[in-house]
Structure 1
């Protein structure tokens, strides 16, 4: 599959006349709990030639789109963000983008661009926005999948992971790791809760097709308590972040010059 993805990235560069700077796996494979039928979620950052930027119409307007999205199929979901879009989102501490930077499954990385972004993470880190992102993800998935007496049990991971990410932010005041297992080992002590979660994880990784089953009270109780507690914690934060625009402008210019 790695070779197929590599070839697809080359095709995208030629078709759209861009250069890809960074491409990674995101989603359940990167998080560490893929199902046997999980597709491959590839995300990338790309840059245009200088003349594309030297125009009276700004990027992202009209025909100058700042995203590339390939048709999704059962095997592959691949899309990317133009570099200035990515850097604007990075300035806002966008959690999905920060997760891309933490992915262990890297398909392509060019020059020092991404390493420089990683070195600037502490300059843009804003716990308020990141906490609300993960907390809202947990609440929405809980309402949709886990609020009844019988639940879509494999969806526990799509609630537990953002809850553990919030608790990591609270504990360390930094962006969480992408891997579920690392979050679980650090945040949850040895307990009935951890045993139940590990049992579910083993089943999921083994390809066990389980869907509607009785809810697991020890997990639901943990999730419900933490969602309420973390909501209050997020409200209590009052943090400001210095404007990183000039630093990111320089990174964009340096990358453009290096590539072209």
Structure 2
């Protein structure tokens, strides 16, 4: 993809996130690309620090692209927090650019998963629920995001596996109303409003899934803390040295 090839720094990986990853892109949805870039060794050793985050938007190959990448050091630090976004980006099956280090990162990321990632999904669901209630008429997208993150969190607490696709998650959850909501989003515009809105029903389902995620958090056997710091540090050093050696050739 041209947008990725034009990135100013080498990429460790770039994957597709957003509605395409979640399984409900509208025909006019843009493509959200997320990933990790690598700043030069000379830059990170200096006082300026370099561009920790690179954001690029544009239309390339007739596709609307939103690309956001973080330098490896910043991204790795996010992995050591209860940040579900970065884990979803690493494990996204929609890969645009990859390296052997990306595969290594997937292995290391498994040791970053803790039971406290439940708080990330609870917090994001609450934010999207407020957005859903604020808009009139209500939109399909924030409601789908609410249910997607709650089911992702429940699945993570139960299995230790990051799964962001709502269709896949619903194979276990079997919530028929999600199939209808996804169909509305898939067939309509990005800002589609609900064809019909039984707000009391969605409120009850929101509260039920919140309670379910909290219960899974309480009984989760996942670790309290990540154990991947040393492995991430080692990978970062090797990435910096490798990049410097390539640049010196």
Q: Which residue of structure 2 aligns with residue 178 of structure 1?
A: 164
Over residues 18-47 of structure 1, what are the superposed CA-to-partner deviations in whole Å (9 max), with x where a residue is unaligned?
A: 211211111111111011221111112111
The corresponding residue for 1:82 is 71
What TM-score results when the alignment is normalised by the length of structure 2?
Answer: 0.83
CA contact (8 A) 1:151 1:215 kept: no
Please state whether the residue corresponding to 1:33 is helix, strand or coil: coil
Contact 1:102 1:178 in 2 (8 A): no
Equivalent of 1:36 in 5, 27, 32: 27
Highest RCO, 1 vs 2 (Cα 8 Å, sep ≥ 6): 2
Quote the offset at 1:95 in angstroms.
1.1
The TM-score, its normalising length taken from structure 1, stands at: 0.80
Alignment-derived partner of residue 183 in structure 2: 202
Q: Distance in 1 between matches of 2:14 and 2:183?
A: 28
Aligned to 1:126: 114
* Distance of aligned partners of 1:53 and 1:210 in 2 relative to their CA distance in 1, 3 Å threshold: closer
Count of residue correspondences: 238
Are 1:220 and 2:192 matched, yes or no? no
* Aligned counterpart, 1:211: 193
Match of 2:29, SS state, is coil
Structure 1: segments with no counterpart, 5+ residues: 1-5
The residue aligned with 2:234 is 250
Unaligned runs of 5+ in 2: none
Q: Secondary structure at the match of 2:7?
A: helix
Q: Structure 2: how far apart are the matches of 1:239 and 1:119?
A: 16
The corresponding residue for 2:4 is 9
Alpha-carbon spacing, 1:210–1:169, altered in 2? closer, same or farther (3 Å): same
d(CA) in 2 for partners of 1:169 and 1:70? 31
Q: Is the 8 A contact 2:113 2:226 kept in 1?
A: no
Query: 1-side partners of 2:136 and 2:188: how far apart?
Result: 24
